[in-house]
């Protein structure tokens, strides 16, 4: 049985993750429009991961007899001035999600909700990776600067990303 406060907070996180998925799908469309198909692929895979994150919270609530309340998903931005700006937004967004996860963990510990804490532990680790990935790509884009060749090479690299269901997760 889950306390109402925790249930509501986890419902809000479903929305945060769903918005994340929307945001990266929007970035994917923007990269497609710039003919940067590798970047578009990377963002599409990212969007798939975020949809899985939303479902992990969904399953957690349902599995504990809580009540799922899906709220409207805000419209994400649709235009960026450069790939660099898109990845600056990505990093900023992931830092925001990390803060959300940490405050959920604070609440779980305060409420002595051990089941929620275990689920959230996975997300604490995941966020370290999410931020590291965004930081790495941002650094690479800064290195590439105005070089078309560098951007071409990076696009090729990002085109190789394939979606993988996280180990131990079924949605």
Residues that bind ligand FEO (CB under 6 A): 17, 20, 50, 53, 94, 97, 130
Inter-residue long-range contacts of 76-85, CB under 8 Å, 24+ positions, other chains counted: 76/19, 76/22, 76/23, 76/25, 76/26, 77/23, 77/26, 78/26, 78/29, 78/30, 79/30, 80/27, 80/30, 83/31, 83/34, 83/36, 83/39, 83/141, 83/151, 84/138, 84/141, 84/142
* CA gap 28, 139 in Å, rounded: 20
Name the one residue in this structure whose structure tokens are 């990269």.
31
Q: For the chain, give the longest Cα–Cα distance.
A: 56
What is the number of the residue whose Cβ is closest to ligand FEO?
53
User: Which of 113/130 has CB closer to ligand FEO?
Assistant: 130
User: Which of 63/166 has CB closer to ligand FEO?
Assistant: 166
- Closest contact distance (angstroms) between CB of 133 and ligand FEO is 9
Name the one residue in this structure whose structure tokens are 């710039």.
34
User: Which of 17/155 has CB closer to ligand FEO?
Assistant: 17
User: Which of 50/113 has CB closer to ligand FEO?
Assistant: 50
- Closest contact distance (angstroms) between CB of 157 and ligand FEO is 20
- Closest contact distance (angstroms) between CB of 69 and ligand FEO is 19
User: Which of 109/132 has CB closer to ligand FEO?
Assistant: 132
- Closest contact distance (angstroms) between CB of 16 and ligand FEO is 8
- Closest contact distance (angstroms) between CB of 150 and ligand FEO is 26
Residues 6+ apart with CB under 8 A from 77: 23, 26, 89
């Amino acid at each position: 049985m889950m306390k109402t406060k925790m249930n509501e907070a986890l419902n809000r996180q479903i929305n945060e993750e769903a918005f994340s998925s929307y945001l990266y799908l929007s970035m994917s469309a923007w990269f497609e429009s710039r003919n940067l198909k590798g970047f578009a692929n990377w963002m599409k895979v990212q969007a798939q991961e975020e949809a899985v994150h939303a479902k992990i919270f969904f399953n957690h609530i349902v599995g504990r007899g809580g009540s799922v309340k899906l709220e409207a998903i805000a419209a994400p931005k649709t235009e960026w001035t450069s790939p660099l700006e898109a990845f600056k937004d990505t990093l900023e967004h992931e830092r925001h999600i990390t803060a959300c996860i940490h405050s959920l963990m604070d609440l779980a510990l305060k409420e002595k909700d051990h089941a929620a804490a275990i689920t959230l532990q996975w997300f604490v680790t995941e966020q370290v990776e999410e931020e590291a990935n965004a930081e790495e790509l941002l650094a690479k884009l800064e290195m590439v600067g105005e070089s078309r060749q560098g951007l071409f090479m990076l696009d090729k690299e990002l085109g190789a990303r394939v979606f993988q269901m996280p180990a131990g997760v079924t949605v």
